[in-house]
């Protein structure tokens, strides 16, 4: 199993470094295309979220592939390899599969148990498959990772024990504006009661923010997005759920800020979306209307950051960002649920690795059987040249007998090789098989789209 993972996350890199290395969705295909220009990499998939940037690749040569991926990540961020080296982690073969299974389960997330990562992995795989960057190996890996993530969230309470990043961020916002309490306390407690909010970005995180703001009791939400149709749709969803909401064009960002107590921002944009000038203008509009000063909280879950950090220096303005969430108790799942989740990951990993070992020896078995068929054909030709007067019925019987003998001779070793390949160290048996039967070392790996 020659899968390599090269990446960095909130646990290995600073937010400022992560936001430089992050690859926006529109550039994902071009990034993987650059990797596939090398003969060292056969398949590639990029997962770039608000707290991780990871490349999953099926490789022919470990060191050349590692060097290329690291150099591409650095170049994309306009940094040197040396500047990112200490923050990069590497996983290979079985460790690579274990890593993506832990990621999809929410065990490796900033907020343990969050479910958004499952959709992010699915999106990354679909993009890679659609562009031809992902083939059979990454198809099997991604599909099993999604299955593992679903199992963990179905069979444990890890997602409720470790709330989503959105929940934790909005809970901190409620604390800052002086209405202490979780936005998901349930019952009649609505910690954001009477406040106004703005949501900038109408993607998955924006949708979650709208839902949690509604549960928290906000009076009104302004929804802004660079695509006005998506903003209008999300505002409609909020209204259908019982929360007043209005879509605004991005040109009225300062107006949305002026009206808001809490602003949630997560756009996936490459550059700053909320500038210091935007916030200044919004606060000036409040003052012009004669409104009393009140706290303004901006929840910035974008990577790169969507809010200019200088905004935090303004009076009565606070920013809740990714770096703060790791310290929040709400980011920790219950110990028991994490233990069960890890057991599921371990069981699924063992099954996946066993299947991959069998899959790797399968083409060799096909080669072996093909070699046997070639020998039979060659010997029958020789037999025919020496027995030209033999009647057709007898000749057919000879052919059936020879093929039957070869099949019976090859059946026990092929069955045994499959059994041995499924065990730890199965790749050693594949090497033995190649040597014993003089089989080629190159096994073609087709695309799922062929």
For the annotated binding site for NADP(+), the residues are 201-206
301, 266 Cβ separation under 8 angstroms: yes
- Residue 50 annotated to the active site: yes
- Provide φ and ψ at 441, rounded to 5°: -85, -15
What is the rounded distance in angstroms from the CA atom of residue 111 to the CA atom of residue 224? 26
358, 423 Cβ separation under 8 angstroms: no
Catalytic residue among 17, 46, 47, 50: 50
What is the 3-class SS of the chain, one letter each residue?
Answer: CCEEEEEEECCCCCHHHHHHHCCCHHHHHHHHHHHHCCCCEEEEEEEEECCEEEEEEEECCHHHHHHHHHHHHHHHCCCCHHHHHCCCEEEECHHHHHHHHHHHCCCCCCCCCCCHHHHHHHHHHHHHHHCCCCCHHHHHHHHHHHHHHHHHHHHCCHHHHCCCHHHHHHHHHHHHCCCCCCCCCCCCCCCCCCCEEEEECCCHHHHHHHHHHHHHCCCEEEEECCCHHHHHHHHHHHHHCCCEEEEECHHHHHHHHHHCCEEEECCCCCCCCECHHHHHHHHHHHHHCCCCCCCEEEEECCCCCCECHHHHHCCCEEEEEHHHHCCCHHHCCCHHHHHHHHHHHHHHHHHHHHHHHHHHHHHHHHHHHHHHHHHHHHHHHHHHHHCCCCCHHHHHHHHHHHHHHHHHHHHHHHHHHHHHHCCCCHHHHHHHHHHHHCCCCCCCCCCCCC
Binding-site entries for substrate: 49-52, 109, 114-116, 120
Binding-site entries: 49-52, 109, 114-116, 120, 201-206
Beta bridge partners of residue 7, listed in sequence order: 54, 89
What is the rounded distance in angstroms from the CA atom of residue 121 to the CA atom of residue 49? 9
What is the rounded distance in angstroms from the CA atom of residue 405 to the CA atom of residue 128? 46
- Nearest Cα residue to 18 out of 66, 89, 67: 89
What is the rounded distance in angstroms from the CA atom of residue 145 to the CA atom of residue 97? 8
Greatest Cα-to-Cα distance within the chain, rounded to the nearest angstrom: 112
Catalytic residues: 50
């Amino acid at each position: 199993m020659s899968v390599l993972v090269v990446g960095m996350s909130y646990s290995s890199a600073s937010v400022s470094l992560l936001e430089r290395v992050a690859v926006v969705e529109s550039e994902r295909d071009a990034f993987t295309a650059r990797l596939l220009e090398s003969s060292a990499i056969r398949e590639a998939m990029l997962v770039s979220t608000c707290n991780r940037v990871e490349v999953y690749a099926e490789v022919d040569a470990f060191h050349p592939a590692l060097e290329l991926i690291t150099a591409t990540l650095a170049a994309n961020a306009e940094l040197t390899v040396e500047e990112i080296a200490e923050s990069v982690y590497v996983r290979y073969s079985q460790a690579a599969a274990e890593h993506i299974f832990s990621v999809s389960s929410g065990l490796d997330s900033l907020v343990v148990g969050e479910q958004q990562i499952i959709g992010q992995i699915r999106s990354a795989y679909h993009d890679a498959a659609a562009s031809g960057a992902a083939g059979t190996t990454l198809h099997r890996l991604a599909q099993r990772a999604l299955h593992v993530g679903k199992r963990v969230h179905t069979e444990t309470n890890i997602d409720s024990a470790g709330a989503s990043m959105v929940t934790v961020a909005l809970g901190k916002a409620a604390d800052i504006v002086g209405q202490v309490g979780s936005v998901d306390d349930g019952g009649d407690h609505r910690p954001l009661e009477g406040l106004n909010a703005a949501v900038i970005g109408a993607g998955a995180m924006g949708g979650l923010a709208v839902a949690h703001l509604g549960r928290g009791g906000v009076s009104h939400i302004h929804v802004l997005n660079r695509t006005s149709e998506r903003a209008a749709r999300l505002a409609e969803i909020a209204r259908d759920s019982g929360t007043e909401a209005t879509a605004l064009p991005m040109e009225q960002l300062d107006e949305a800020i002026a009206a808001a107590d809490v602003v949630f921002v997560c756009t996936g944009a490459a550059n700053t979306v909320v500038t210091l000038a935007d916030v200044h203008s919004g606060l000036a509009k409040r003052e012009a209307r004669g409104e009393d000063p009140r706290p303004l909280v901006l929840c910035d879950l974008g990577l790169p950051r969507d809010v200019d950090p200088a905004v935090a220096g303004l009076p009565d303005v606070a920013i809740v960002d990714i770096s703060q969430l790791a310290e929040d108790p709400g980011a920790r799942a219950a110990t028991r649920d994490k233990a069960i989740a890890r057991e599921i990951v371990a069981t699924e990993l063992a099954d996946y690795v066993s299947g991959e070992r069998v899959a790797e020896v399968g083409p060799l078995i096909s080669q072996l059987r093909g070699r046997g068929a070639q020998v039979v054909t060659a010997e029958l030709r020789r037999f025919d040249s020496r027995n030209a007067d033999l009647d057709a019925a007898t000749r057919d019987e000879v052919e059936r007998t020879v093929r039957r003998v070869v099949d019976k001779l090859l059946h026990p070793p092929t069955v045994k090789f499959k059994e041995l390949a499924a065990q730890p160290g199965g790749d050693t048996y594949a090497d033995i098989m190649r040597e014993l039967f003089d089989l080629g070392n190159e096994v073609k790996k087709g695309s799922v789209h062929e």
